[in-house]
Amino acid sequence: MRYFSNKKIIAVFLVALLIIFLHYLGALNWVERYISLALNPAQKFFFSQGIKLSELYNDRDSQNLEEKNAALEQQLQMLLAENVSLHILQDENESLRNQLQFYEKYNYQKKLANVIGKTTNSDQRQIITIDAGLSKGIKINQPVVVGNGVIIGKIIKTEDMISYACVITDKNCHIAATMAKGIGPSGLTQGDLGLTVNIDFVPQNEPININDIIITSGLEPEIPKGLLLGEVQDIKNEPNNLFKTAVINPVADLNAISIVSIIIN
């Protein structure tokens, strides 16, 4: 303590404690609201610049991959697997069309919002900050979607002007999911390493295959059935285990999301 000027450091610590205390009393809501109002547009701008930089880097990276891809394509042409892939794509397409029809049919009320921040890697969480909060009717557990009904996460905390949503690849983000084709397992998803999504505890006898489409099951009151989650990428099957794990590849590019919708009704 003697290294700082004593009075100043005590004052600063007291101010910090007072601010924290007042926050929990709710006395600073209006200040936080004004801070959000003032900074949200700037945050939106900075976040979009970050996304642009990220896309620029990805484009450059994909140019290198293109050369490798061209060489591989020649080999691919000799394989008849293309035909099989087309069949799979046809099934997917049909399923996606069903999703879209379902989404439009029920005409959910949505609120558009901008992503203005993400948690850092060291937090080990996959949380996005969006510029819509309680004042726009956003509530906890409401689904966050992109495009035509592709769920990317759900709201975990709301404030007046901003909300926080966990992304489906977050370890603590669980969403009730099932298979689009109607039959098969249903369970809770869990993010894995911020990259993929798992559905654990799938009974061994349940029919689940690679490339099956996974959707929300509608078992959560705030999340309607039929929002697209992703497709099965892998099935982890231990011979002596009662259950297997389905690894799902999310449909949306979760690193380049700048505008989202929240289904509020």
Partner 1 sequence: MVIIVPILLFLLQQSFLTAAPLFFPYINLILIYCISLLIIVNADFALYNTLFFGILSDVYSPNLFGLYTISLMFSIFLAHIFLRQLFTNRSIYTFIFLTIIATLSFQLCHQIILLTANIFTMRTTFSVFFSQRYFLSMLYENIANVVVISIIFYVVNYFSFKLKTFFIKI
Please report, as ranges, the residues that interact with partner 1 according to CB under 8 A: 3-5, 8-9, 12-13, 15-16, 19-20, 23-24, 32, 35-36, 39, 42-47, 49-51, 53-54, 57-58, 116-125, 127, 129, 156-157, 162, 164, 171-172, 193
Phi, psi of 148 (to 5 degrees): -95, 70
Q: Please answer whether residues 228 and 251 qualify as being in contact, where contact means their C-beta atoms are separated by less than 8 angstroms.
A: yes
- In the complex with partner 1, the residue whose CB is nearer, 163 or 178, is 163
Q: What is the DSSP string of 71-107?
A: HHHHHHHT-THHHHHHHHHHHHHHHHHHHHHHHHHHT
Count CB-CB contacts under 10 A for residue 181: 16
Count CB-CB contacts under 10 A for residue 63: 9
Residue 64: which H helix or E strand, with range?
helix 29-77
- In the complex with partner 1, the residue whose CB is nearer, 10 or 89, is 10
Count CB-CB contacts under 10 A for residue 101: 12
Q: Rounded to whole angstroms, how far apart are CA atoms 43 and 220?
A: 32
In the chain, the amino acid numbered 83 is: N
- Residue 257 corresponds to which tokens in the numbers above? 């999301």
Closest distance to partner 1 from the beta carbon of 61 (Å): 9
Name the residue with tokens 């697209």. 228
- In the complex with partner 1, the residue whose CB is nearer, 46 or 201, is 46
- In the complex with partner 1, the residue whose CB is nearer, 46 or 106, is 46
Closest distance to partner 1 from the beta carbon of 89 (Å): 30
Closest distance to partner 1 from the beta carbon of 118 (Å): 4
- In the complex with partner 1, the residue whose CB is nearer, 91 or 200, is 200
Count CB-CB contacts under 10 A for residue 115: 23
Closest distance to partner 1 from the beta carbon of 170 (Å): 11
Closest distance to partner 1 from the beta carbon of 163 (Å): 9
- In the complex with partner 1, the residue whose CB is nearer, 127 or 215, is 127
